[in-house]
Amino acid sequence: MIDAGADPNARTTSRGSQSGPGDETPLYYAASSDDVDVAEAPIDAGADVEVPDGSIGTPLDDAVGYGCWHVARLLVMRGSPVEKAWHAAALGMLGRLAELLRSDPPPAEVSQAFWHACNGGQRRGVSSVTRRRPHSEPDYAQGTPLDAASQPGTRQENVVTWLRERGARSASSY
C-alpha cells in the first residue's frame, strides 16, 4: 500500500473524517500485534515512531503495554526514545532504568516499572526496581506482579521463581 502512495502516518478515524485520541496509524497496529515485518514497512517509509495518542500512548507504549517485545525492541532500535521507567524496566535496559529512577520518582512510577519488569521477564530489572520498594500494581494491571510474570510469551520463569522465593502470591491465592 505504501508503494501505491498510502501515507504511513494516516490515522484511522472512528469519528467520521476527523481523527482524535485513540485513532491509530498502521504502526500502532503492528506494535500491538508484535508483527515486526509489518512494523518495518511504515517505519521504512518514514512513519513517526513517536506519534502520540494511540490506545495507550505512543507506538512504544502500545508495544510494551501489550507485551509485544519484538516490535518494542525494533522501535527502540529505530529511534523511539525510552523516556519512561516502565519502558526501560520491561525491556531490561538497566542503565537507562537507573537513569530514569535517579530523580526519585513517585511511588506509583516505581510500582509501574516493577510490574512491567515482571511482565517483560526481566529478573535483573525486577530486582533493581525492588530496591525502591514498589507498593502497588498499576490501575490497569491484570493481576499481581507474579501474575504478570506468569503470562505466556514472557521470559517469565526466572522472574516467577525470584518472586516466589520472596513470598509473592498470585491474585487467585488471596
pLDDT by residue (tens digit) across 78-106?
999 999 999 999 999 999 999 999 988 89
Output 171 or 78, whichever has higher pLDDT: 78
* Residue 100: burial class (beta carbons within 10 Å; 0-12, 13-18, 19+): buried
Q: How many CA atoms lie within 13 A of 97 on its CB side?
A: 26
pLDDT surpasses 60 at 18: no
Q: CA-to-CA distance for 171 and 174, rounded, in angstroms?
A: 6
Query: Comparing 29-38, 57-66, 135-144, which segment has the lowest mean pLDDT?
Result: 135-144
In the prediction, which pLDDT does 62 show?
92
Digit-coded pLDDT (tens) for 141-162: 878 888 888 876 545 566 777 8
In the prediction, which pLDDT does 174 show?
67
Measure the N-to-C terminal CA separation of the chain; round to a whole number of Å: 50
Q: By percentage, how much of the chain surpasses pLDDT 90?
A: 41
What is the arithmetic mean of pLDDT over 23-31?
87
What is the arithmetic mean of pLDDT over 18-32?
76
In the prediction, which pLDDT does 33 show?
86
pLDDT surpasses 70 at 16: no
pLDDT surpasses 60 at 164: yes
Tell me phi and psi for residue 79, to 5 degrees: 115, -5
Q: Considering the entire predicted model, what is its pTM?
A: 0.79
pLDDT surpasses 80 at 2: no
* Residue 118: burial class (beta carbons within 10 Å; 0-12, 13-18, 19+): buried
- CA 138 from centre of chain: 13
The mean pLDDT of the chain is: 86
Tell me phi and psi for residue 169, to 5 degrees: -130, 155
Computed on alpha carbons and rounded to an integer, the radius of gyration of the chain in Å comes to: 17
In the prediction, which pLDDT does 153 show?
59
